[in-house]
Amino acid sequence: MKSTLSKFDIFAGEIQKNAIWLEAVAGLEEAKIKMEQVAARSPGKYFVYCSTTRSVVATLETHRKPAHKAKSKGHSA
């Protein structure tokens, strides 16, 4: 008999407001991996929601890396 993995929903944004549903994934570990992949491509706030327990089971917030400014060395002519 095959076991069925629970489905988890991945959202972007704030938990209490303006959350945007991204996709549903089977299994909590897979949902966490997928959330990390999405966050790596597009930094921001993300969370995984379990509709069975009606609770947030994982959160992640990533930030854009600051652009490196090239240090220019002054040359005297």
* Per-residue pLDDT tens over the stretch 14-40: 999 889 999 999 999 999 999 999 999
Q: Backbone phi, then psi, for 8, in 5-degree steps?
A: -125, 140
Domain boundaries, the chain: 7-61
CB proximity list for 7: less than 8 A, separation 6 or greater:
24, 25, 26, 51
**DSSP string covering 21-52, please?**
EEEEEESHHHHHHHHHHHHHHS-SEEEEEETT
Whether 42 and 57 have beta carbons less than 8 Å apart is answered as: no
Q: Is 51 exposed, middle or buried (0-12, 13-18, 19+ CB in 10 A)?
A: exposed
Of residues 74 and 25, the one with the higher pLDDT is 25
Q: What is the pLDDT of residue 76?
A: 53
